[in-house]
Amino acid sequence: MELMEALDEEERGWQDQANCMGVDPDLFFPERGASTREAKEVCRGCVVREDCLEYALANGEKFGIWGGLSERERRRLRRARALARRAGAASAS
């Protein structure tokens, strides 16, 4: 099964433009400790990279490379955004 087939049909607007269409999904789900370089290279020039990343963040994707980021990198981004929201809320009060 291809990576994009796993996504709901209604969510597929941006996926049809993704660089990863037709690429072996195993590339985006490397074994623990394996290089993510090739997957990130596919993502590098993708026109829907931000959409892919936001999809992964909104849906809590725990595994794989999404929007050019690993799960660890997405976790850091979620934390940074949460801190920024808290700081913004604190300064607004």
Check residue 92 and give its pLDDT: 74
Domain ranges of the chain: 3-92
As a whole number of angstroms, the distance between CA 77 and CA 71 comes to 10
Low-confidence stretches of the chain (pLDDT < 70) are: 1-12, 93
Check residue 65 and give its pLDDT: 98
Instruction: Identify which of 73, 71, 63, 68 has the alpha carbon closest to the alpha carbon of residue 29.
Output: 63
- The pLDDT mean for the chain works out to 88
Check residue 5 and give its pLDDT: 58
Check residue 76 and give its pLDDT: 96
Check residue 1 and give its pLDDT: 46
Check residue 83 and give its pLDDT: 93
